[in-house]
Amino acid sequence: MNQEIERRRTFAIISHPDAGKTTLTEKLLLFGGQIQVAGAVKNNKIKKTATSDWMEIEKQRGISVTTSVMEFDYAGFKVNILDTPGHQDFAEDTFRTLTAVDSAIIVVDGAKGVEAQTRKLMTVCRMRKTPVIIFINKMDREGKDPFDLLDELEEELQIKVRPLSWPINQGARFKGVYNIYEQRLNLFTPDKQKVTEKIAVDIQSHALEEQVGERDAQKLRDDLELVDGVYPEFDKQTYLDAEVAPVFFGSALNNFGVQELLDCFVQIAPCPRPTQAEERDVQPDEPKFTGFIFKITANIDPNHRSCIAFCKVCSGRFVRNAPYLHVRQAKTVRFSSPTQFMAQRKETIDEAWPGDIVGLPDNGIFKIGDTLTEGEPLHFRGLPSFSPEMFKYLENADPMKTKQLEKGVNQLMDEGVAQLFIHQFNGRKLIGTVGQLQFEVIQYRLENEYGAKCRWEPASLYKACWIESDDEAQLEAFKKRKYQYMARDREGRDVFLADSAYVLTMAQQDFEHIRFHFTSEF
């Protein structure tokens, strides 16, 4: 069992939109031998789309809308990648994914440097003490000086850095990357779709000048001297303690620097770590199985209309057809066809180990945050829904398709893309999200996946918050006075819909004994 745990590497790829996460994922799959030819996110000449962007809407817009899970074997290790959406409208999905991984790779655009969304995601990694590796992408375009980029990373992300590879020039003159971690230079021929042969060159010999020219050879030697002078030796423990972030340079599109990143990553990245439950800490090498659901996806296969719940194995060994306890429902469940993923393609497996992500067929029994165990009542926390800030009323545009609309809305809400509230004053359905783009995705998926048409009507609200109180009388008084602004969520909990920041502050002052919650975990 310990051998299986030692060889697992489960990580998420995170960044600001358009820094190149999906392209990097595609190249990692290429080196892992999972695909023979890499697809592109947006390219008129390359017709194959990226493997991890499998939804219709992702192919059309060239953005990732949902986290996809992929796994492959590399150099004796079992690698599980989660490619997350960068767009802030889907940040909730990304935050939840970070609870299921042991480390993260942050992708930074070499020309733009650190951007807003990257800062937010780094804050989450800091809170959870998740070790991070930084990949500076797009070195084949003109960008900032590498030393300036390193200073910016330290300042903006509040973490010490140590470069483990170094670019030879950049932009049109970009020649490749020197691998500091293994102290050798590998030169590739740039190729966007295949793995090419590499030439090993000794950095002190004259062969370097022949390969990259005199100026670049001298500059590389000077830069490396400076790097060793400025930055302390790389120490694996400081990386695992999330104090230092190793930095790699490259161009994911041209395959430069990707293999250096992967080779070093499997060597130094942490294997599955203990998971904290409310009751106690769960160690990965415990004999009994435990796991939690961190994501649900509807319609992975459009022909079957099925939902899949993604379960992260925290401890023990997951076995097909074995009886497990569904803690929230206090029921025993068995799974005859658990699957493992390659984005949308999936295959049935007989067992899984800590760190693996298993797809379980879901016929409506799971919610995000549910726990599965061999009988012990455990609860894993840290998978909240945030209080939405954008609201629209959902109206049925085709009365003949009422049933399809209802099914579609329920399945999409289970995914945690958005939240559904029933207004108590007029009984209308209100959808709340954290970003505008979510409404377009819901409308598009309802029509394409469920054959139901909906239209949105504006609702001018400021925020929704969950309320509770030990003082029953005051809670009743509040609900009576705010009758027009009360709603219920799908669990039947009371939700207060404030139409402005002022109204919310006044309500908090007038009713001292009522607690207002802005995430669903309380």
- What domains appear along the chain, each with residue ranges and CATH number? 2-268 (3.40.50.300), 275-373 (3.40.50.300), 390-517 (3.30.70.3280)
Q: How far apart are CA 59 and CA 162, in angstroms?
A: 36
Question: What is the per-residue pLDDT across 319-364, written as a single tens digit (0 to 9) for each?
Answer: 988 999 998 888 899 888 888 765 456 678 888 888 888 888 877 7
Over 470-509, what HEC string results?
Answer: CCHHHHHHHHHHCHHHEEECCCCCEEEEECCHHHHHHHHH
- Can you tell me whether residue 399 is helix, strand or coil? helix
* Residue 358, strand partner residues: 311
Q: What percent of the chain clears pLDDT 70, i.e. is strictly above it?
A: 83
Q: H-helix or E-strand containing 326?
A: strand 324-326
Highest-scoring range by mean pLDDT, 35-49, 78-92, 179-193, 480-494: 480-494
Whether 488 has a pLDDT exceeding 70, the answer reads yes
Q: Is the pLDDT of residue 65 over 80?
A: no
Pairing of strands 132-137, 244-249: parallel
* Cβ-proximal residues to 494 (8 Å cutoff; 6+ apart), any chain: 466, 467, 468, 475, 479, 486, 488
pLDDT over 60 (residue 141):
yes
d(C-alpha 316, C-alpha 313), whole Å? 8
Using the predicted structure, report yes or no on whether residue 428 has a pLDDT greater than 70: yes
Q: At residue 358, what are phi and psi to the nearest 5 degrees? A: -110, 135
Beta strand 77-83 pairing with 8-14? parallel
pLDDT at 128: 79
Residue type at 380 in one-letter notation:
F
Dig out the tokens for 511 from the structure. Answer: 């009713």
The dihedral over CA atoms of 359, 340, 263, 130, expressed in degrees to the nearest 10, equals: 10
pTM across the whole model: 0.79
| Rounded percentage of the chain residues whose pLDDT exceeds 90 | 3
Helix locations, 73-114, DSSP H: 91-97
Phi and psi of 33, rounded to 5°?
Answer: 75, 10
Average pLDDT over residues 424-446: 84
Cα–Cα distance, 367 to 295 (Å, whole number) = 8
Element (H, E) at 127: helix 116-128
| pLDDT value, residue 192 | 59
Among candidates 52, 28, 30, 48, which has minimal Cα distance to 39? 48
Q: What is the mean pLDDT of residues 441-470?
A: 86
Residue 62 has pLDDT above 70, yes or no: no
- Confidence class for position 46, pLDDT limits 50, 70, 90: very low
Residue 303 has pLDDT above 70, yes or no: no
Strand partners, 454: 396
Tokens of 100: 């299921």
Task: Give the whole-angstrom CA distance, residue 382 versus residue 498.
Answer: 25
pLDDT at 435 over 80: no
For residue 44, name the pLDDT band (cuts at 50, 70, 90).
very low
Nearest to residue 402, comparing CAs of 347, 346, 475, 453?
453
CA 231 to chain centre: 30
Give the pLDDT band (50/70/90) at residue 50: low
Q: Helices 258-268 & 21-31, crossing angle to 10 degrees?
A: 80
- What is the pLDDT at residue 191? 62
Whether the per-residue pLDDT at 419 is higher than 80: the answer is: yes
Helix residue ranges per DSSP H, 21-115: 21-31, 56-61, 91-97
User: Is the predicted pLDDT of residue 386 greater than 80, yes or no?
Assistant: no
Residue 293 has pLDDT above 70, yes or no: yes
pLDDT tens figures, 230-280: 888 888 898 888 889 999 988 888 778 888 888 888 888 888 888 888 888
Count the alpha carbons within 13 Å of 241 in the hemisphere toward its beta carbon.
7
Asked if 69 contacts 352 with a C-beta cutoff of 8 angstroms, the reply is no
More confident site: 249 or 70: 249
Enumerate residues 6+ apart whose C-beta is below 8 A from 271. Answer: 5, 6, 7, 8, 9, 102, 284, 355
Q: Does position 30 have pLDDT exceeding 80, yes or no?
A: no
Task: Kindly compute the dihedral angle of the four CA atoms of residues 454, 452, 370, 284, in this order, to the nearest 10 degrees.
Answer: -110
> Tell me, what's the pLDDT at 57?
54
* Lowest-pLDDT range of 85-99, 186-200, 490-504: 186-200
Contact 34, 341 (CB under 8 A): no
Give the per-residue pLDDT at 490: 84
CA distances in angstroms from 125 to 11, 105, 185, 353, 500, listed in the order given: 12, 11, 32, 24, 32
Max CA distance (Å), the chain: 86
Q: Which of 7-16, 19-28, 282-291 has the highest mean pLDDT?
A: 282-291
Long-range contacts of 28-31 (CB under 8 A, 24+ apart): 28/72, 28/79, 28/81, 28/258, 28/262, 29/70, 29/72, 29/81, 30/194, 30/195, 30/255, 31/74, 31/195, 31/258, 31/259, 31/262
Least confident piece of the model among 86-95, 139-148, 375-384, 453-462: 86-95
Q: Report the chain's mean pLDDT, rounded to a whole number.
A: 80
Q: What is the spatial distance between Cα 240 and Cα 104, in angstroms, rounded to a whole number? A: 11
